[in-house]
Amino acid sequence: MTNGNGVQPEDAAPQLNVLAQYTKDLSFENPNAPASLAPQQQQPAINIQINVAANKLADSEFEVILSIEGKAENAGSVMFSFELAYAGIFRIANVPEENLHPLVMIECPRLLFPFAREIIATSVRDGGFPPLMLDPVDFVGLYRQNMERQAAEQVKPS
């Protein structure tokens, strides 16, 4: 359908709206305090894992969950660990079917990440440590890795 001059009507433009954002689950552990809060001889080893999941709620609405887990260790002892599941509900309209999955799994978590990053930094700081400022995440690379892993799992004989 056009508006008479061959141009698509404005309501056919792709739309991505954030309807809600929320902390679904948050855990912070400081199991060796107060010893873990003492000055350390070396920087701790920090390991971070990031995953994205999505649930279709309605025809054009999706819940996207950004899960971030981290642990800081020094000399074999856990200084702190955290788990965060930060979610958003997104309404997506007028997006071709072939572009929907990448949009949900790349752009939606990209919009959620700064908020999740702030929650983690604040939690670590409130746990007695300097705030942990996570580096930006390459959600395109993460998406490609997950798609390659899923393709490899489908090829394996059962």
Per-residue pLDDT of the chain (158 residues; tens, 9 = 90+): 444 555 445 558 999 999 999 999 999 999 988 988 888 888 899 999 999 999 999 999 999 999 999 999 998 899 999 999 999 999 999 999 999 999 999 999 999 999 999 999 999 999 999 999 999 999 999 999 988 988 888 876 65
CATH architecture of 13-130: Roll (3.10)
End-to-end CA distance of the chain: 48
Are 77 and 36 contacting, i.e. CB atoms less than 8 angstroms apart? yes
What is the length of the chain?
158
Evaluated on CA atoms 103, 105, 106, 111, the torsion sign reads positive
What is the Cα–Cα distance from 32 to 133, expressed in whole angstroms? 22
Which residues make Cβ contacts (< 8 Å) with residue 56, sequence separation at least 6? 62
The full set of domain ranges for the chain reads: 13-130
Distances (CA, A) of 70 to 6, 16, 47, 57, 119: 52, 30, 5, 29, 13
